[in-house]
Structure 1
Amino acid sequence: MMRPDLNLLVTLDVLLEEGSVTRAGERLALSPSAMSRSLARLRRATGDPLLVRSGRGLVPTPRAVELRERVRALVRDAGEVLRPAAGLDLATLTRTFTVRSSDGFVERFGPALVESAGREAPGVRLRLLRKTRKALGQLRDAIDLETGVLDEPVPPGIHSRPLFTDRFVAVVRPDHPLGTGRPTTARYAAARHVHVSRRGPDEGLIDEALRPTGHRRDIVTIVDGFAAAVALARACDLVATVPRRHTENLRHGLHSFELPFRAPEVTVSLLWHARLDADPAHRWLRERVLQVCRADESG
């Protein structure tokens, strides 16, 4: 079965409104002969004369009268579909966004993000999830935004934007031996350490940075997140080495110090799927996340 020519709907709408082939042609910038051909096609498609001569003009058939409002509504709706989206009204926006973030992100930036988004768009709900593994597949459907460190180029269809650069610091409880005196590389390496790894390796960025000094950390515990590492450092004589900005709130009340060797740095990025790139509401949320993360670059 052949598909109908939907352009004929526009022609029919104008013909029924004007009741004249000549005037309809003028509105559509078509010649009288081209309009006559279009009317003939409409008659074949509908199986009805649609417009018949009466005196010096044309009058609609009952079928044409029946179709008039339906055709007008269809043309109007099609025009809305093919028109750019209306401006975003944050005051009336009702939507739930799912944001999946790396460990510590919600504790550090979540309050400001919730406050900022709620102030501008009170009908928006944020679903904040902790990322337990690196997998971008869900950005195609279930996840609106994700934060994380990019170890390799993003796959096709995924957009990314840098949020901030973070560097690692060491954290211990106030009465830990490293809480006083100069924390040399030797003292740091000889202490008992908690290592953060979601993938299972016994060593990571910190150990790679430490290796040129000839020292190795004494790793006695491995956890899967920075929050857990900080919690252990708070309760035990362990050293947790964690990203400074990510864990600022988590480290409250503990003693933090700069690493006595060249500290690794990581760039945290915001990621989303290409299908959401042009969505005005999604673009607004991306800007809010970026604004919150960059509000205290020196923090």
Structure 2
Amino acid sequence: MDLNLLITLDVLLDEGSVTRAGRRLALSPSAMSRALARLRRATGDPLLVRSGRGLVPTPRALELRDRVRGLVHEAQEVLRPARPPDLATLERTFTLRTGDGFVERFGPELVAVVGAEAPGVRLWFLRKAGKDSALRDGGVDLETGVLDDPPPDIVSAPLFTDRFVGVVRPEHPLATGEVTAARYAGARHVHVSRRGRAEGLVDEAMAPATRDVVAVVDGFGAALALARAADLVATVPERHTEGLRHGMRAFALPFRAPEVAVSLSWHARLDADPAHRWLRDRVAAVCSTR
């Protein structure tokens, strides 16, 4: 069955003329006549019959007219690009998996912005823990973090660039005076590594000097908690951890501070989804203003 015939039948019944229908469909009179012949064979009814100088619909044609119009209208809606979501009535839950400190830094404003525009939208924040296929499987809608080599079905957009700073409690010796490379290297450090490694970007940046790492944790929050309670230096991303560093002293590293590019990622199947696109835009806007 050629479903294009539904469009032809809709126009024929609306115009009641093969010639006028042909003009609307950019078809020649002969092509329209052939289409009408195919419709007659398919329906087993003449559909349009001559009456004087014009054509009139048969009872079967009158019976089909509204049904055909509805089918064509629905088909047009299906094939039309998705409309922007009605945010006032949108009911949807989005799951965001983020790095340590992201929710504390950006979460409050994001929740406020989303709630003001789309009160029916709920945000579920999950802590990022290792690499898995949650974006691909649909368990996570959006993910923030540093991308190494994303697979081809993962789409991403840059959010911001973050640089590392040193953080200590107010009573720490490095809380006062100039922090030189020697003072920094001579302090006791807590290092962040989800893979349990004792070295990272900071150690590469300060080479050949080395630091005394006495504790390794798997998140920035844990590193700052140790530094808040003991004379340890936590070296963490500045923007990510602003909400976690309240009451502590931050200082610029005495060497070229490592920088990381934080991106927003999602699966390709959600790339054209209007509601998902709206949320991505809100996340990017919040991160660019804070």
TM superposition shift of 1:104? 0.7
Is the contact made by 2:135 and 2:142 (CA closer than 8 Å) also made in structure 1? no
Q: 2:176: which partner in 1? A: 180
Q: 2:274: which partner in 1? A: 280
Give, in whole Å, the separation in 2 of the partners of 1:66 and 1:126.
Answer: 49
The amino acid of 2:202's aligned partner reads: I
Is the contact made by 1:139 and 1:145 (CA closer than 8 Å) also made in structure 2? no
TM superposition shift of 1:265? 1.2
Give, in whole Å, the separation in 2 of the partners of 1:27 and 1:43.
Answer: 20
* 1:236-275 map, 5 Å: 236-275=230-269
Is the contact made by 1:176 and 1:237 (CA closer than 8 Å) also made in structure 2? yes
1:169 counterpart = 2:169: no
TM superposition shift of 1:221? 1.8
Q: Deviation per CA, 1:172-193, whole angstroms, max 9, x where unpaired?
A: 2222233334333333233322
Q: What secondary structure, in the 3-state scheme, does the structure 2 residue paired with 1:103 have?
A: coil
Q: 1:24: which partner in 2? A: 21
Q: 1:142: which partner in 2? A: 139
Q: 1:189: which partner in 2? A: 185
Q: 1:208: which partner in 2? A: 204
1:233 counterpart = 2:251: no
TM superposition shift of 1:17? 2.6
Q: What secondary structure, in the 3-state scheme, does the structure 1 residue paired with 2:80 have?
A: coil
1:221 counterpart = 2:218: no
Q: 1:159: which partner in 2? A: 155
TM superposition shift of 1:48? 3.2
Give, in whole Å, the separation in 1 of the partners of 2:204 and 2:96.
Answer: 31
Identity %: 74
The amino acid of 1:101's aligned partner reads: T
Long gaps (5+) in structure 2 = none
Greater CA drift, 43-52 or 189-198: 43-52
Give, in whole Å, the separation in 2 of the partners of 1:18 and 1:116.
Answer: 50
Q: Deviation per CA, 1:131-175, whole angstroms, max 9, x where unpaired?
A: 1123466156333222111233x3323332222211111222222
Aligned with residue 114 of structure 2, among 109, 112, 117: 117
Q: 1:39: which partner in 2? A: 36
Long gaps (5+) in structure 1 = none
Q: Deviation per CA, 1:51-77, whole angstroms, max 9, x where unpaired?
A: 344565544444333322211101111
Give, in whole Å, the separation in 1 of the partners of 2:97 and 2:156.
Answer: 14
Give, in whole Å, the separation in 2 of the partners of 1:198 and 1:20.
Answer: 73
Greater CA drift, 76-85 or 274-283: 274-283
Aligned with residue 198 of structure 1, among 188, 194, 210: 194
Aligned with residue 289 of structure 2, among 283, 295, 298: 295
Give, in whole Å, the separation in 1 of the partners of 2:178 and 2:14.
Answer: 88
Is the contact made by 1:172 and 1:238 (CA closer than 8 Å) also made in structure 2? yes
Give, in whole Å, the separation in 2 of the partners of 1:231 and 1:222.
Answer: 12
TM superposition shift of 1:124? 2.1
Residue-pair matches, total = 290
Q: What secondary structure, in the 3-state scheme, does the structure 1 residue paired with 2:243 have?
A: coil
The amino acid of 1:20's aligned partner reads: S
Greater CA drift, 141-150 or 83-92: 83-92
Give, in whole Å, the separation in 2 of the partners of 1:189 and 1:26.
Answer: 82
TM superposition shift of 1:82? 2.8
The amino acid of 1:156's aligned partner reads: P
Aligned-residue Cα RMSD (Å) equals 2.4
Q: Deviation per CA, 1:214-238, whole angstroms, max 9, x where unpaired?
A: 3x22222211111111112112332
Q: What secondary structure, in the 3-state scheme, does the structure 1 residue paired with 2:165 have?
A: strand
Classify 1:172/1:44 alpha carbon distance in 2 versus 1 (closer, same or farther; 3 Å): same
